[in-house]
Structure 1
């Protein structure tokens, strides 16, 4: 999801952000080494040394840095015995850092401070996405699971600066389909029902955790915004047409409750931020840009008024709305930080945490003092890569066959000028987008001798409602055409050898791999599909119950199983029914506990290929979900992929070490003989 001011994130409900923007965040690790001592060159490599996989895909040294509201403490995620945990230290003496959690399994991915000095985080079990709220009491030295309910998912909806001893959570304990609102007392664990959810997608609440607005999708796909009446009933107050639901929705209330801020694409192509005066109904545009949707804002910590927005075209930059922040934005824009964003701040808004990356720098967190206009480096997330031979990323705009501009990102191996092998990386979602910056997969593949191209195909977010809606009904067709057009551009530009192009992706990107290799069986030399749907009928039938409130969005995008026409479309666009057309090598990766794209999706595809006598390599991780979180599993899959690509594209590879293999839970269910891997040591 887009970052906002940390105060804003603590204060406002995640339900105020369109659900399709919520993206899972992968956290990756690294081990320290010196360039001179540990880089290797294989006999088939160029003069550029190999970057070890562990440095790109292992745990970072530190990440997800947060600051306490009073500015006294910093916290961050860092490994404890190889597993990411929360560490805390006084801001004025980071040498006193200590771990305050002790997870020993998949590691933590997220944490935040409450205004009364607690740390809370969400954790599931082996990727099942049944998240529970855990609290760390620094004074007592305890860590507790406050929602230990089986088969229940909990979300943190709001952390208020007004009611400090409780947070607001959403929980689907009563009805698996919908999230009721509760206050959760962090000291006692007491849950108090605030609002029973009759079927809404989400609520807009004030600082006292009182719901004022709610949203739901109507039967025609439009988004209804309902307003709370004095008697507690709900009436429709605003409606967004179906074509606006992915780019519009209520955002948040002003601190005094007099205004509602709305992300709004009505009457325009791109999403603007508008302010509606609730007494008069007057609407004013706070910020808009005809070139891109605006989703990422810096908010005033007292009033919740937008102060600046992040404009993300091929590159991103902050634009000030209010003069009170203009000097800060100008200073940070001119500080040479690369792509920066405000990650957190103190309650008095004096100290800001700034995260900055570039294509050649994995990430640095700075402390910015607004009073003294000074920057202090806190942590480099992956200092191990400071001397690595990273390759620059180039934004390119590719024209689709029907006239769309496809904002894309190209990384080429250092020193390579001639056409060579290319890996097309397809993002998930599909309602997400690729951005400029440090991308470990780009660096890994470029280092192994492949050019890498990421394409914001139609349905990608951020480029206006016409572009995102152009993918409806076009899974496996015009969305695939955009990928084909990008490959054609790379060939025509002298970048790609047409006989040595691979396609790789996760989630929707995994579907794109399967769809492309069945639709265009001779187009790609090989493919890598990670947790990719193969059967759109079973995908829709098996989505988690709590997706019910926005299931209509998926139906509109891929086909309606309740109609004969929709069922025909779903079947036509399902790669499993055309598995017999595949004629090039395919590698499939799957987490056994994935609640979104269940294991059955990969099993079906593998079975269909076997039934047609087509070889396939299938890797299953029994302790993973929608993607691979444990560093050992992540590294092992990239090692397997590297060996696969070396065989079929002719790049180079770092040999897989025995400890990489033994440390993972990878089960190669099919095609082990097709890979040159160490023998598995059991026990």
Structure 2
């Protein structure tokens, strides 16, 4: 389960190739006070290849762009789905006087700032000319914007502060040489390679933030206190082997954690005095979380006094509840729990730290509210618009909210809400081009796996199969099974650009929360342990059977597609079950689990016990043999259906070698493959030019092998770094088809 640190951050966009462009609203932002330097658990991956079809493929159909005269039969240009949004990630300054958001500047996403009551006066405050800014936050000074940038997807993140009074940007990454300020060149150039992240922003110390950086040892992040006015910094906690630290609003280190060899997590409490420039060196054991609970249990923050610890806790229950622990008396209390799903987003008062509301998400988001005034305001706001409502941001006094409404079949709508006057003012939609288009609903369904496990799933049907949007198919159509990455993440209801693109091209789309997905309790999560290419894949097959039985598709008209773990699942589908899928699209997916774990970034080393618990142990002969058995590369000769692979050359999680080695193996077995490499991308495609290029290839690929419609490639490669390293002839043949 993810931690919920108290940062004003916009979620990253475009990091995973199959994610919809733009920030999904961070509704009900998280608990304050717990800054977490945790290393990511999940490996997002993707790759693409192409093998011979078992039967004669349908001819690719080209069509003119969207025609209002015949909307149901026309193609919506892919740029509408995967180009830049108009505005996204709206935030409000802590004092409520300014708004900020991401929007294009000369075709590249940058941060813009405007007076709260005059959006027309917005101005860009970053000037990235290459990759774009994908996340940012306000400092509590109200005059600084903080953001991070890497180089071409290498995830060597550096932190920058922009002074809004001078519009000057400064690299404030501590513990290493500075790079040029972002915006002076085409992109910020990090030197040397470190990965830094903001882990603390407190209203109690407006001019200082906490940054974790692995400058001294690439395996471990140490915490620095950084002055954003002059860029000076001081280490407050060295790291000799901890996975993460938890700090409070006063920037005091309160806990540290590390994985134990058996996969459990041990939390420690510092003892003695903190040495200047070093921090604590002596620790007492505080809490041990068994390996079965680690995904659903963790520290979430503190109350205003700092003596009550909030936790996500699945110990003694199946799902993760929000609980409190009095650090003086040891008394525990369950604040909110749901027997079906783990607690999700939390809304707390920004200075009082009282719990105001929590969100649970089984099939759809459900809110439990504790604050009566918040309940009244939410009631007003839910009556304003039919879409799902979320609180995307709020001021330090909590009297002004940024509200977002989002639908599965339309753009997100942003409002400013004054809690004193109860006035909601419409600001903008994130993408005007989506208005009035023939988009389709997303439907939820719980599919029963062969062993009875409930699989919360989401599907979309093309208009020609379901003109009324009821969720019942009038006729079977080709289906694309979309497999999410992680695998320790989940699919949710809402607008999904890939669902909409594929539905517009005539495909049904099905997304399945297979076992091992997060949010559904520890039994569901742990049911995926050591089941890569096993029961996790069986769940996908069971979902396909459901779609066939429901008349949504036919057995020979199903493709599999995904990024990261979803890319791995695609390769598994074409090697372990070579006759099930008509074709596959793999984006940054690992092909060999042994080489995957041997090449992870050094700062993921602390998470290796977790990987061994959940996937397998690559350090023992028995474990390596089992991982090899579950690796698609081992069974490459079984591929007999077309495969497309897409890969970023700078991917630090799933290296380019994962794609290269399966492409080379397919060539040795005379199996055709289409392989697209992007030299300026990492774990997914962040630049819109690259997204549009790859999805242009994908459209033609699916149209040829699955029979749907496709927008011609046209000028989709313009401005992209795409290199077709294998299978170019198949793309040209597809494009040439009538």
Q: What is the distance in 2 between the residues matched to 1:4 and 1:360? A: 31
Aligned positions of 1:229-378 closer than 5 A: 229-231=271-273, 232=280, 233-378=282-427
Q: What is the distance in 1 between the residues matched to 2:33 and 2:137? A: 13
* Counterpart for residue 662 of structure 1: 718
Question: How far did 1:210 drift?
Answer: 1.0
* Counterpart for residue 253 of structure 2: 211
Moved more, 11-20 or 608-617: 11-20
Question: How far did 1:382 drift?
Answer: 0.7
Question: How far did 1:497 drift?
Answer: 1.3
Structure 1 residue 622 corresponds to structure 2 residue 649: no
In the alignment, is the contact (CA less than 8 A) between 2:219 and 2:602 conserved in 1?
Answer: yes
In the alignment, is the contact (CA less than 8 A) between 1:11 and 1:159 conserved in 2?
Answer: no
Aligned positions of 1:352-431 closer than 5 A: 352-416=401-465, 417-431=474-488
Runs of 5+ unmatched residues, structure 2: 9-28, 46-63, 179-190, 274-279, 466-473
Q: What is the distance in 2 between the residues matched to 1:561 and 1:292? A: 32
* Counterpart for residue 157 of structure 2: 131
* Counterpart for residue 730 of structure 2: 674
* Counterpart for residue 181 of structure 2: none
* Counterpart for residue 59 of structure 2: none
Aligned positions of 1:7-156 closer than 5 A: 11-15=32-36, 19-20=40-41, 39-40=66-67, 47-117=72-142, 118-147=144-173, 148=178, 149-156=191-198
* Counterpart for residue 29 of structure 1: none
Q: What is the distance in 1 between the residues matched to 2:300 and 2:4? A: 14
Deviations 1:549-568 (A, max 9, x none): 21221121211112222111
Structure with larger RCO (C-alpha < 8 A, sep 6+): 2
Question: How far did 1:321 drift?
Answer: 2.3
Q: What is the distance in 2 between the residues matched to 1:617 and 1:497? A: 26
What TM-score do you get using the length of structure 2 for normalisation?
0.87
The match for 1:649 among 703, 706, 709 is: 706
* Counterpart for residue 487 of structure 1: 544
**Cα 1:385/1:2, change in 2 over 3 Å:** farther
* Counterpart for residue 239 of structure 2: 197
In the alignment, is the contact (CA less than 8 A) between 1:560 and 1:566 conserved in 2?
Answer: yes
In the alignment, is the contact (CA less than 8 A) between 1:106 and 1:630 conserved in 2?
Answer: yes
In the alignment, is the contact (CA less than 8 A) between 1:253 and 1:259 conserved in 2?
Answer: yes
Q: What is the distance in 1 between the residues matched to 2:146 and 2:83? A: 24
Q: What is the distance in 2 between the residues matched to 1:557 and 1:106? A: 34
Deviations 1:239-289 (A, max 9, x none): 110010011111112222111111100010000011111110100111111
Deviations 1:143-175 (A, max 9, x none): 122223411010100101011111101000011
Deviations 1:562-591 (A, max 9, x none): 222211111100100110000000000000
**Cα 1:304/1:336, change in 2 over 3 Å:** same
In the alignment, is the contact (CA less than 8 A) between 2:5 and 2:300 conserved in 1?
Answer: no
In the alignment, is the contact (CA less than 8 A) between 1:3 and 1:342 conserved in 2?
Answer: no
* SS at 1:588 equivalent: strand
**Cα 1:60/1:22, change in 2 over 3 Å:** farther
The match for 1:169 among 211, 232, 244 is: 211
Deviations 1:68-122 (A, max 9, x none): 1011100110000100001111011111111111000110111110111210001
Structure 1 residue 471 corresponds to structure 2 residue 471: no
**Cα 1:564/1:418, change in 2 over 3 Å:** same
Q: What is the distance in 1 between the residues matched to 2:65 and 2:633? A: 44
* SS at 1:620 equivalent: strand
Question: How far did 1:334 drift?
Answer: 3.6
* Counterpart for residue 636 of structure 1: 693
* SS at 2:378 equivalent: helix
Deviations 1:182-234 (A, max 9, x none): 01111111110000012111111111211011111111111111112234421
In the alignment, is the contact (CA less than 8 A) between 1:10 and 1:114 conserved in 2?
Answer: no
Q: What is the distance in 2 between the residues matched to 1:41 and 1:338? A: 25
Question: How far did 1:322 drift?
Answer: 3.0
In the alignment, is the contact (CA less than 8 A) between 1:221 and 1:552 conserved in 2?
Answer: yes
Moved more, 514-523 or 333-342: 333-342
Q: What is the distance in 1 between the residues matched to 2:545 and 2:563? A: 22
Q: What is the distance in 2 between the residues matched to 1:194 and 1:3? A: 22
Q: What is the distance in 2 between the residues matched to 1:340 and 1:461? A: 22
* SS at 1:498 equivalent: coil
* SS at 2:216 equivalent: strand
In the alignment, is the contact (CA less than 8 A) between 1:501 and 1:525 conserved in 2?
Answer: yes
Q: What is the distance in 2 between the residues matched to 1:274 and 1:263? A: 6
Q: What is the distance in 1 between the residues matched to 2:714 and 2:418? A: 45
Question: How far did 1:610 drift?
Answer: 0.7
**Cα 1:515/1:21, change in 2 over 3 Å:** closer
* SS at 2:542 equivalent: helix
Question: How far did 1:3 drift?
Answer: 7.4
The match for 1:435 among 492, 496, 520 is: 492
Q: What is the distance in 1 between the residues matched to 2:374 and 2:6? A: 13
Question: How far did 1:41 drift?
Answer: 9.2
Q: What is the distance in 2 between the residues matched to 1:443 and 1:284? A: 43
What TM-score do you get using the length of structure 1 for normalisation?
0.94
* Counterpart for residue 158 of structure 1: 200
Runs of 5+ unmatched residues, structure 1: 25-36
Deviations 1:517-551 (A, max 9, x none): 10011110000000000000000001001111212
Between Structure 1 and Structure 2, how many residues are aligned? Answer: 664
Question: How far did 1:458 drift?
Answer: 0.4
Aligned-pair RMSD on alpha carbons?
A: 2.1
* SS at 1:387 equivalent: coil
* SS at 1:413 equivalent: coil
* Counterpart for residue 581 of structure 1: 638
In the alignment, is the contact (CA less than 8 A) between 2:6 and 2:35 conserved in 1?
Answer: no
